[in-house]
């Protein structure tokens, strides 16, 4: 798309990248209205959360779970400078699938997502498929879980999309145990994380994070 075509198709009021994310989600969830949690105050105006918002869908595929999607790592709005960029913003949005454990609490997962966003913004580093990172505590503090780190895989349903602001991948956060994290630390190469993800995928194709997994 040329700059002229971009200017003809969109206006400064258009949420160009955001709408592309919504269209991708609509392919899966059709008319389901998600819970959406918007940032009360934008980060660049002094707000605490770098993400513009987080949406949460209910899914009954494989196991009943929450499907959580971020808005804010990619270029969400009208931006003439983004035309023909290889990647939209940092080139990804985060997702997470959390098995329903009998309560409706997903704020811990959204807080985790926002903490990762703070890390990206403050460090200038970004995540790619098969990266991994410790959470320096159990991933949910008020729950007895063995999961203490996150590995990243391409979301099995959302994959990657091309937008007028560049390409973005939906990177799914997958909770891993201390033993799994230590194994990756011993040989921190992409192929080892890929092997772990493939092992997890055998019994868990959607890579749903189950806080009770040992």
**pLDDT of 26-59, one tens digit each?**
999 999 999 999 887 767 667 778 899 999 999 9
DSSP string covering 8-49: HH--TT--HHHHHHHHHHHHHHTTPPPEEEE-SS-GGGT-S-
Q: Please state the domain extents for the chain.
A: 3-128+153-173
- Answering whether pTM is above 0.75, one says yes
Q: What pLDDT sits at residue 40? A: 76
Short-list 85, 99, 88, CA closest to 169: 88
Give me the percent of the chain exceeding a pLDDT of 70: 99
């Amino acid at each position: 798309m040329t700059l002229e075509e971009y200017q003809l198709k969109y206006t400064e009021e258009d949420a160009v990248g955001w709408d592309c994310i919504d269209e991708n989600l609509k392919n899966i969830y059709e008319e389901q209205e998600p819970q959406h949690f918007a940032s009360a105050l934008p980060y660049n105006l002094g707000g605490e959360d770098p993400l513009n918002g987080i949406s949460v869908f209910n899914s009954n595929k494989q196991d009943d779970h929450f499907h959580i999607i971020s808005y804010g790592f990619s270029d969400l709005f009208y931006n003439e400078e983004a035309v023909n960029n290889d990647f939209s913003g940092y080139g990804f949005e985060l997702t997470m699938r959390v098995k329903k454990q009998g309560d409706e609490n997903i704020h811990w997962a959204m807080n985790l997502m926002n903490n990762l966003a703070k890390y990206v913004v403050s460090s200038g580093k970004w995540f790619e498929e098969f990266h991994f990172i410790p959470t320096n505590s159990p991933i949910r503090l008020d729950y007895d879980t063995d999961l203490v780190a996150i590995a990243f895989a391409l979301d099995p349903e959302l994959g990657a999309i091309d937008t007028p602001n560049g390409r973005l991948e939906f990177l799914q956060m997958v909770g891993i145990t201390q033993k799994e994290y230590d194994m990756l630390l011993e040989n921190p190469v992409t192929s080892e994380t890929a092997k772990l993800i493939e092992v997890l995928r055998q019994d868990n194709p959607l890579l749903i994070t189950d806080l009770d997994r040992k």
